[in-house]
Amino acid sequence: MEINLCQYKNLSCFGCCGYDFGNEKEFTKRLKENTKQFYSLSLKEFRERSEKSTPKGGCKALIIKNNKIICALHPLQNKGKDLRDKNCKKEYMCETFKRFKEWNKEKQKKFLKFIEEKKLSNYDYSKGMDEGTFLKEFES
């Protein structure tokens, strides 16, 4: 089974959706606003409101669903249909995940243990993964 670092156990990474994270408090506020709007608007209205906005403090398509942070417009959330807009870096994969996929199973297990021992928030997990902080620390 292939491990997806974007959604690993109780951690959700949204590093590729960050653009400008702001601080954790700002990001969390924006995430709650996005989630509330997602559940009060049609999917079309939610998407259109996303296109009209400049991402700040995280992409406006990010929401909380089943205790995970996800992109409401991602194909995995929409029966394979990609509803993400032009602001999305659809093909982006952080260096940490690229390297992780190249490692053997034993090294992957060690990295996952290293991450789990940190007891991270989703915010810190995302920044550390996307910025390569954990990769550098693990490999040193």
Q: Is residue 102 part of a domain?
A: yes
Residue 14 lies in a domain: yes
The tokens 């990010």 sit on which residue? 62
Rounded Cα distance between 128 and 124, Å, is 6
11 - beta bridge partners?
Answer: 8
Between residues 53 and 128, which one has the greater pLDDT?
128
Count CB neighbours of 46 within 10 A: 20
129, part of any domain: yes
pLDDT reported for residue 19: 63
Q: Is residue 37 part of a domain?
A: yes
Whether residue 110 lies inside any domain: the answer is yes
Confidence of residue 43 (pLDDT cuts 50, 70, 90): very high
81 torsion bin: left (phi>0), alpha (psi -120 to 50), beta (else): beta
Q: Is residue 28 part of a domain?
A: yes
- Is residue 2 one of the residues assigned to a domain? no
Q: What average pLDDT does the structure give for the chain?
A: 88
* 25: its two tokens: 């408090």
| Domain span at 73 | 7-139
Predicted local confidence at residue 134, as pLDDT: 96
Give how many domains the chain has, as a whole number: 1
Within-domain flag for 35: yes
pLDDT band at 17 (very low <50, low <70, confident <90, very high): confident
CA distance 12 to 117: 16
